[in-house]
Amino acid sequence: MVKKVGIGLLGLGTVGSGVYRILTERGKTLTQRAGVDVEVKGILVRNPAAGRRVTVEGGLLTTDPERILNNPDISIVVEVLGGEEPARTYIERALRAGKTVATANKEVIAKHGVELLGLAREQKVDLLFEASVAGGIPLLRPLQESLAGEDVEAVYGIVNGTTNYMLTAMDKEGLDFAEVLAAAQRKGYAEADPTADIAGHDAARKLAILASIAFNTQVPIDKVYCSGIEEITAADIAGARELGYVIKLLAIARRVEEGIEVRVHPALLPQGHPLSTVDGVYNAVMVQGWAVGTLMFYGAGAGQMPTGSAVVGDIIAAAKNLFSGLRGQPRVGFAPGVPVIPLEEVETRYYLRLRVVPEPGVLGVVTRLCSQEGVELVSLDIKNWGQDSANLIIRTQRVKEKAFRGALAALRKEARVHEVESYIRLEGED
Ligand SMILES: NC(=O)c1ccc[n+]([C@@H]2O[C@H](COP(=O)([O-])OP(=O)(O)OC[C@H]3O[C@@H](n4cnc5c(N)ncnc54)[C@H](OP(=O)(O)O)[C@@H]3O)[C@@H](O)[C@H]2O)c1
């Protein structure tokens, strides 16, 4: 027997219109597959007169949140407004009113997931957020269900399409950061204020959520180390390419003996690495498990229909829980448990480019200064040996962040080193 479920949408922008299209255009398939008949009962927007990507049945649009949050015919609220407030308050109110919530909002989940999941448990309703990480790519449910028996050792990948588009364009077209950013904004791949993307905050929020699910522990957003792509230059990309690497903004969560490390930063990846060919606005996440080995999830990390697909997946899961009486039994608690280790203790390899005084002995000086701080070099190449300066391109062994910082400070004090031009972490080669 087909069961009816009422849905309220908070927002009808990019994602909301994708959700609405899938629910209305593919409703029959959903009914056949899930045995539920999903009906949209109301949609909150700011401006009902604005042009829309979808044609919506008359009377559904409203500017009054009470028509959704206080509507007894609505059991599932879909939050796709974006931003922290009023989205967080509306989610809380929906949960308190006994409604299940599906959201695509990484900011709210990364910052308030703990309280909201606790509230959902108390209220015996669900709070689902598959679309908050990597848009259309199923990640959170596979981690919680298909990989429930797995001891996850690491999750890492490319989770921000804007920065991946920009790095790809810098690599393929040899353009500099500012030119690529302007092009991304013209094409609608970067927002007018691109800070959240290029500074890595968007990726950090997604990583906090992903790591919390993968390791079943609370990973507070302020514990995620985050450095963006603003400082990456065309010279870095060309230098990386010459050595056989590409530069990607990586989000990395790894279990180590003392806890877990969580970090977002640009990294050099060898050209043969599976993530090195993930180009443009695409996302990909690798999951490394003790038994399963390495898996790769790849696809559209954003966009109207892919993100809409992830939200609709949550709606169907929520509807099934509603009718089977399994509501309010979240598999994740985001409970504190495993400590996040401080960045100084994180071990990585480094690529380092110096401009030095071109005189005999300078290689020895640089090697000694690094070694004194515990930084051993894997390779040291000389480029552009000129009258006044030469470039040294260095790759280090694995080293703790604090030792690397010590070497950097020593190099910066050294008179024969004109400048530390660039340093980028090296991943994917251990
Ligand atoms: N875009 C993507 O590809 C993507 C991918 C993954 C996750 N997400 C997440 O999904 C969420 C929505 O993103 P989006 O791109 O769909 O945003 P969007 O295009 O800006 O749409 C936001 C919608 O919410 C409505 N809205 C915003 N604030 C409101 C308020 N205070 N009161 C009433 N209505 C309000 C807007 O109404 P009006 O239309 O009247 O202005 C609009 O319909 C965000 O959390 C985002 O991070 C987006």
Q: What is the pLDDT of residue 337?
A: 81
pTM (predicted TM-score): 0.96
> What distance in angstroms lies between residue 14's CA and the mean position of ligand 1's atoms?
6
Q: What residues contact 124, with CB distance under 8 A and at least 6 apart?
A: 98, 327, 328
pLDDT at 331: 63
Closest atom of ligand 1 to CA, residue 17: 16
Confidence at residue 192, expressed as pLDDT on a 0 to 100 scale: 87
Catalytic residue among 99, 106, 111, 206: 206
Tokens of 97: 């009113």
pLDDT of res. 2: 76
Q: What is the pLDDT of residue 287?
A: 98
Q: What backbone torsions phi and psi does residue 374 show, to the nearest 5 degrees?
A: 90, 15
Which is it for strands 245-256 and 347-356: parallel, antiparallel or unpaired?
unpaired
Q: Using the predicted structure, report yes or no on whether residue 187 has a pLDDT greater than 90.
A: no
Give the pLDDT score at 30: 87
65 CA → ligand 1 middle, Å: 15
Q: Of 208, 203, 204, 104, nearest to 160 (Cα)?
A: 203
pLDDT of residue 330: 66
Report the SS3 class of residue 141.
helix
295 CA from centroid of ligand 1 (Å) = 31
Looking at residue 333, what is its pLDDT? Answer: 59
Nearest CA to ligand 1 atom 18: 13
Ligand 1 centroid to 15 CA: how many Å? 7
| Residue among 46, 64, 305, 309 whose CB has most ligand 1 atoms within 8 A, to mutate | 46
If you measure from the C-alpha of residue 273 to the centroid of ligand 1, how many angstroms do you get, rounded to a whole number? Answer: 35
Q: Where are the domains of the chain?
A: 3-136+304-324, 146-300, 344-426
- 347: region left, alpha or beta (phi > 0 left; psi from -120 to 50 alpha): beta
Q: What is the pLDDT of residues 45-60, one digit of tens each?
A: 999 999 999 999 889 9
Protein residue closest via CA to atom 5 of ligand 1:
302
What's the pLDDT tens digit per position in 329-369? Answer: 766 656 778 899 999 999 999 999 999 999 989 999 999 99
- β-pairing, 100-103 vs 76-79, is parallel
> Which of 45, 64, 112 best tests ligand 1's pocket when mutated (most atoms within 8 Å of CB)?
45
What stretches of 132-277 show up as alpha helix (H) in DSSP?
140-144, 161-173, 177-186, 195-198, 201-214, 234-242
| Residue 126 near residue 318 (C-beta atoms within 8 A) | yes
The CATH H-level superfamily of 344-426 is: ACT domain (3.30.70.260)
Q: Residue 76 pairs with which residues in a beta bridge?
A: 7, 100
pLDDT of the residue at 336: 73
Kindly give the number of the ligand 1 atom that is closest to the alpha carbon of 303. Answer: 3
Confidence of residue 328 (pLDDT cuts 50, 70, 90): confident
Q: Would you state the pLDDT for residue 325?
A: 85
The ligand 1 atom at the shortest distance from the C-alpha of residue 108 is 45
Structure confidence at residue 329 (pLDDT): 77
Share of the chain above pLDDT 70, in %: 99
Please give the number of the atom of ligand 1 that sits closest to the Cα of 18. Answer: 16
Q: Tokens at residue 198, please?
A: 């290029």
Mean per-residue pLDDT for 236-258? 95
pLDDT surpassing 80 at residue 83: yes
Residue 27 confidence (pLDDT) above 80:
yes
| Assigned CATH class of 3-136+304-324 | alpha beta
Task: Give the CATH number of domain 146-300.
Answer: 3.30.360.10
Per-residue confidence (pLDDT) for residue 332, from 0 to 100: 64
Contact predicate 173/231, CB 8 Å: no
Give the residue-averaged pLDDT of 387-396: 95
Interval between CA 83 and ligand 1 midpoint (Å)? 8
157: alpha, beta or left, given left = phi > 0 and alpha = psi -120 to 50? left
- Ligand 1-lining residues (CB < 6 angstroms): 11-16, 44-47, 50, 80-82, 86, 104-106, 131, 135, 302-303, 307
Active site residue 3: no
